[in-house]
């Protein structure tokens, strides 16, 4: 009889799923526990070590060491000793396959999807191999659990995390800041006047030179541009003062 239904490996600091077993169960209750596991993974940094959350039909067990945690959804008939022995075996298999640098650089969910085959093999081993063949491993875990019992979480703990994950908690919205242009200073007004005078002087020179150039030769058109370009530059040199000044006069 299968007692371990689902298992996954997640990164502790942000709950990013790194690999997971194939899901063959699609009942409404099981999917609800999948959501609970996913939301609990986001808060694993608060619960270092081992922990459990038990319900009527299913239970969640997790084992966290360093930045890697293994989680499982098991039947309520599954002994905690077997569940944690399974999670520890899975943790050793994963950390032996991938170094901390690869785990830390993972940026997308299920970046180590190929590890799914290992999860399936280990899960099958614990589901169908006699516990007598794992007696030494189970005894070691049992002693560790006596010395340091796992954290016991309630279903309300996972419900709160689920609400945060799905965005049900209210968000405080703040009004956007209202920016207003400051009045033009005396230096800005002086700069504006000087720009207007320079532009007017360049325009007058350009017009007179244009009349003379058209009468003399077409090659002199470059001289006209030499005065018209500074005229345009003066107009657009300080547009901020223009707009501020027009805003104050209107």
> Mean pLDDT for the chain?
80
User: Distance between CA 165 and CA 161 in Å, rounded?
Assistant: 6
DSSP-based three-state secondary structure for 39: helix
**pLDDT at res. 233:** 62
pLDDT single digits (tens) 84-128? 999 999 999 999 999 999 999 999 999 999 999 999 999 999 999
- CA 87 vs CA 10, 55, 125, 129, 145: distances in Å: 12, 19, 12, 16, 13
Which of these, 80, 64, 95, 94, lies nearest to 126 by C-alpha position? Answer: 80
Q: What is the pTM of this model?
A: 0.63
Q: How far apart are CA 10 and CA 42, in angstroms?
A: 9
* Residue 209 DSSP SS3: helix
pLDDT digits (tens, 9 = 90+) for 168-223: 444 444 444 454 556 667 777 777 788 788 777 777 776 666 666 556 555 555 66
């Amino acid at each position: 009889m299968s007692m371990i239904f689902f298992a996954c490996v997640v990164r502790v600091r942000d709950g990013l799923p790194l690999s997971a077993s194939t899901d063959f169960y699609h009942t409404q209750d099981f999917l609800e526990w999948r959501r609970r596991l996913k939301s609990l993974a986001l808060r694993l940094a608060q619960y270092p070590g081992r922990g459990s959350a038990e319900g009527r039909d299913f239970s969640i067990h997790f084992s966290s060491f360093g930045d890697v945690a293994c989680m499982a959804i098991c039947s309520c008939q599954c002994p905690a000793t077997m569940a944690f022995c399974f999670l520890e075996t899975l943790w050793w298999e994963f950390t032996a396959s991938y170094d901390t640098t690869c785990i830390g650089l993972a940026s997308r969910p299920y970046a180590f999807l190929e590890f799914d085959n290992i999860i399936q093999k280990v899960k099958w081993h614990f589901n169908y191999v006699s516990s007598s063949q794992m007696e030494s491993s189970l005894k070691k875990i049992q002693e560790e659990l006596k010395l340091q019992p796992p954290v016991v979480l309630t279903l309300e703990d996972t419900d709160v995390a689920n609400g945060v994950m799905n965005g049900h908690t209210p968000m405080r919205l703040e009004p956007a800041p209202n920016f207003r242009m400051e009045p033009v200073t005396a230096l800005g007004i002086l700069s504006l006047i000087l720009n207007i005078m320079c532009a007017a002087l360049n325009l007058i020179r350009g017009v007179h030179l244009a009349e003379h150039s058209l009468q003399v030769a077409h090659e002199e058109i470059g001289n006209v541009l030499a005065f018209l370009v500074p005229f345009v530059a003066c107009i657009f040199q300080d547009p901020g003062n223009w707009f501020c000044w027009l805003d104050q006069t209107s």
